[in-house]
Amino acid sequence: MVSYVVIPGIDGSDEQHWQTLWENGWGALGVRIAPRSWSEPDLADWIDSVQTAFDVASARDRDVVLVAHSLGCWAGAAWLRRNPGAQVKGAFLVAPPDPRGGAFPRTAAPTFLGVEPGTLSCPSIVVASADDPYCDLDAAEHLAGRWGSEWHMVGEVGHVNSASGLGPWRHGQGLLETLATV
């Protein structure tokens, strides 16, 4: 069995977000992070929250996959870089915002600004949209390269969130399964 650590972006993922729909389907196999700083993200708090969720997930199953969206991609990547020996089967990183881009939440999440992408310690996939207002395709492809991740562009679906109207996002589930079955 595989357990999943769900790492949403700012304010978490609402009930219509693909992450929440997937988590609901996984039942006890999905563990969502619970930082104290959802609205004004503090990187240290988010990394600690990833650790807590990982501890719960790994106690259930040996195979753990991180499932991150938006700013959660940076929290997941930062946690992986601080824990290179962690037994993580894969990281699914969807719509990471570009810290150098104009739409990055600098005021709300200043502690995330200094994080540099570097090779991750597990197989990973970066998924990006052609019209994501938080990260253009060139920046997303660059991040994928720096993280050592596979790169997938999923068309024009905005920030790949609830507003994108993806529902349970079957295409994303297929990509995630490639990590979970490696």
Q: Is residue 2 situated within a structural domain? A: no
Instruction: Write down the pLDDT at residue 114.
Output: 86
Q: Cα separation of 31 and 73, whole Å?
A: 16
Between helix 71-82 and helix 43-60 the angle, nearest 10°, is 70
Q: Is residue 161 situated within a structural domain? A: yes
Look up the CATH number of the domain holding residue 37.
3.40.50.1820
Q: Is residue 166 situated within a structural domain? A: yes
Half-sphere exposure of 29 (CA within 13 A, CB side): 14
Q: Is residue 114 situated within a structural domain? A: yes
Q: Is residue 1 situated within a structural domain? A: no
Could you write out the DSSP letters of every residue in 56-85?
HHHHH-SEEEEEEETHHHHHHHHHHHH-TT
Nearest to 163 by CA among 25, 41, 8, 13: 13
Instruction: Write down the pLDDT at residue 182.
Output: 65
What is the C-alpha end-to-end distance of the chain, expressed in Å? 12
Q: For the chain (length 182 residues), average pLDDT per consecutive 10?
A: 96 96 96 97 98 95 93 98 94 96 94 93 97 96 97 96 95 94 73
Domain of 26 in residue numbering reads as 7-70+78-180
Which of helix, strand or coil describes residue 26? helix
Q: Is residue 14 situated within a structural domain? A: yes
- Please give the DSSP secondary-structure letter assigned to residue 17: S
Half-sphere exposure of 16 (CA within 13 A, CB side): 7
Q: Is residue 57 situated within a structural domain? A: yes
Q: Is residue 136 situated within a structural domain? A: yes
Q: Total domain count for the chain? A: 1
Instruction: Write down the pLDDT at residue 60.
Output: 85
